[in-house]
Amino acid sequence: MAKEIERKFLVSGDAWRGGSPGTRIRQGYLSRQAERTVRVRSAGGKGTLTIKGKSQGATRDEYEYEIPASDADELLDRLCERPLVEKTRYLVPYGGLTWEIDVFEGDNRGLVVAEVELEDERQAVPLPPWILREVTQEARYFNSNLARHPFKTW
């Protein structure tokens, strides 16, 4: 069974910028139930379909499949719930880990979140100086919830 172990943090300032050109991402949801989400994503000319189970701490089941980019675009335009989540993702190395910095756009403009994937929930994570605070357990920061309750409405 595929597992995702991920911690999520709010970002402060722009000190993390500089290395990565960033990849524009559009994503939408076919299902956003608490027990499972089904996400469609278009990023960097590729499409993915991802099925995620309910989070248990920082861990959850995750199955991800590449799909044709044209299928992803059609699903996003025709079948995914609104609004879509739009963001630019930057990959930033720090402390031997790769941090994914998401700068949100559209209805979530102003929100910047860093995620780091781990091998084990107990793995030590050296925090970069641009980390504000951890939000791993705060459901409102889940992308599926940002689609339903965008940052601009908080």
Contact 88, 24 (CB under 8 A): yes
Question: For position 91, what pLDDT does the model report?
Answer: 96
User: 7-11, 20-24, 105-109: which range is least confident on average?
Assistant: 20-24
87: CATH: 2.40.320.10
The structural domain count of the chain equals 1
Catalytic residues: 29
Main-chain phi, psi angles of 105, to 5 degrees: -125, -175
Range of the domain at 62: 3-153
Q: Which amino acid is at 73?
A: D
Average pLDDT over residues 43-65: 94
Is the confidence at residue 51, as pLDDT, over 90? yes
Residues 6 or more apart whose CB falls under 8 angstroms from that of 24 comprise: 43, 44, 86, 87, 88
Residue 1 pLDDT level (bands cut at 50, 70, 90): low
Question: For position 137, what pLDDT does the model report?
Answer: 92
Question: For position 58, what pLDDT does the model report?
Answer: 86
The Cα–Cα gap between 144 and 28 comes to 8
